[in-house]
Amino acid sequence: MRDPIYHYRLTDYDTSILPTPFLALMEDSVTGPETWVPRTGLSIGHPGWGLVYHLVLARLDPDRFNLVVETGTNLGSTSMVIARAIRDSGRDGRLQTIEIDADTLAQAKERMALAGLEAIVEFHEGNSLEVLPAVVGDEAQIPIVFLDGNHWHDHVVREFEIVHPHLAADAIVVFDNTYLIAEGREDPRVNGALRTIVHLFGGNLINLPFCSWYTPGISLWQAQPFADMSAPAEGSFTPET
């Protein structure tokens, strides 16, 4: 296993830029994992929160209901960012988030209420592989998913397999902790899962390596940028020679 890397989650910054005042309060004077973990949990931190906030804002459809799915609620910090984006967008939507640990989930619910965002979020307790099928239901146009629960290779791939049939054609799936941490015969974790997902499902990846913390990196997967990529653009264009 490669050595831990913590310094890509920033601490010395103006917390007023965070999407929610509650997070700004929790981030005040944090210096490292020993101070931020008790406050905001195993969350992506800054600048990851801003990234997710604006991704959700930019991807919510103004003309339909938007189901946003998250695995790995933890203490609800990133959930809070997603919920705030849904509220700020003024669009119809709801976050469905899954956490396996009952005590952690209870804390997340309390924090969401303190942030005034509980009406936008539905919490689910359990193993994401067991809960996800009911969460996605018969939805066929999910715009954005954040997979950040169990980070073992097979689990990440299976989560993706469950949500994949329910994604909009141009949906974005966000993965945390994408740094290549494994060595030798170790489980390849999220980094390996992304390689498997692209091999099995195609699509495109953007990796942002200097974001989040141990392990760092956030990746965005998208099958295609436009709903219909099967035909060439209409009209003709002849470049000048």
Q: How many Å is the Cα radius of gyration of the chain?
A: 18
pLDDT digits (tens, 9 = 90+) for 12-33: 999 999 999 999 999 999 999 9
C-alpha span between 181 and 207 (Å, rounded): 15
> How high is the mean pLDDT of the chain?
94
CB 146 within 8 A of CB 58: no
By DSSP bridging, strand 66-71 and strand 93-99 are parallel
Q: Where are the alpha helices (DSSP H) in the chain?
A: 21-27, 33-40, 48-59, 77-89, 102-114, 128-136, 153-163, 189-201
pLDDT score of 105: 98
Domains annotated on the chain, with CATH: 15-29+37-222 (3.40.50.150)
Predicted TM-score (pTM) of the model is: 0.94
